[in-house]
Chain A
């Protein structure tokens, strides 16, 4: 089955720092999604990417669909305490169900 490798597994950063995380796939995807999950809640969609090379922003968040279609990146600029949570990448191709990475746990130190 399709595999997603998400890195890093966890990050501890100072408030105000920029954050980068990425996902790589063993196969080509035609959709990449990035989610954030707060404690006790379901994942919430942050950014959706539908074309290779696409770069999309949502406030301080920017995500890119890699040109090889096997990777995606999420950047968070000027982190704040409420950015704390688990970030998941997810992707799929064709009619296949969404496959998730194992998540990046972000901690922000004020």
Chain B
């Protein structure tokens, strides 16, 4: 099935532990994004990758790192998890050309709790 796949769907971490959230898309999109969603805050951009080989910080990058492994995959890493990183994380991908943006598609999310 075409779309954006995120793993894992749920995760509980202890403060200080590390983990990597995985995201893969099979739509040949060139740009990929990581957002976090907190109650009342909408979706806030953590990091994005406009194209393979590039990454840029978004609105809330502190405490996170990313890797654009290839065109399909974009991972988000928490090196030392903190309770403030308890959130729902969404990956998204789009096809961006010089003229337009198409197909902004989201994964189903990873629900992370840091205790």
Q: Which residues of A contact B (CB under 8 A)?
A: 1, 6, 31, 33, 35, 40-45, 48, 50, 88, 90, 92, 95, 97-103
Interface membership of B42, Cβ < 8 A: yes
Report the contact-size class of chain B (Cβ under 8 Å from the partner).
20 to 34
Structural contact, B90 and A43, CB atoms closer than 8 A: yes
Interface membership of B82, Cβ < 8 A: no
> Which of A44, A98, A99 has the most chain B CB within a 10 Å cutoff?
A98
Q: Using an 8 Å CB-CB cutoff, how does the interface string of B86-101 with A read, 1 for contact, 0 for none?
A: 0000101010100011
Among the listed A45, A48, A97, A103, which residue makes an inter-chain contact with B42, where contact means beta carbons less than 8 Å apart?
A: A103
A-B contact pairs, 16 of them (CB 8 A): A1-B59, A6-B42, A31-B100, A33-B104, A42-B90, A42-B107, A42-B108, A43-B43, A45-B104, A97-B33, A97-B48, A98-B94, A100-B35, A100-B43, A102-B41, A103-B42
Given A43-B90, A100-B42, A102-B42, CB of A95 within 8 Å of CB of B104: no
Structural contact, B101 and A31, CB atoms closer than 8 A: yes
Structural contact, B104 and A42, CB atoms closer than 8 A: no
Interface membership of B13, Cβ < 8 A: no
Interface membership of B74, Cβ < 8 A: no
Instruction: Write out the residue numbers on chain A whose beta carbons fall within 8 Å of the beta carbon of B108.
Output: 40-42
A59 to chain B, nearest CB (A): 19
A105 to chain B, nearest CB (A): 10
A74 CA to B109 CA, complexed, in Å: 25
B115 to chain A, nearest CB (A): 21
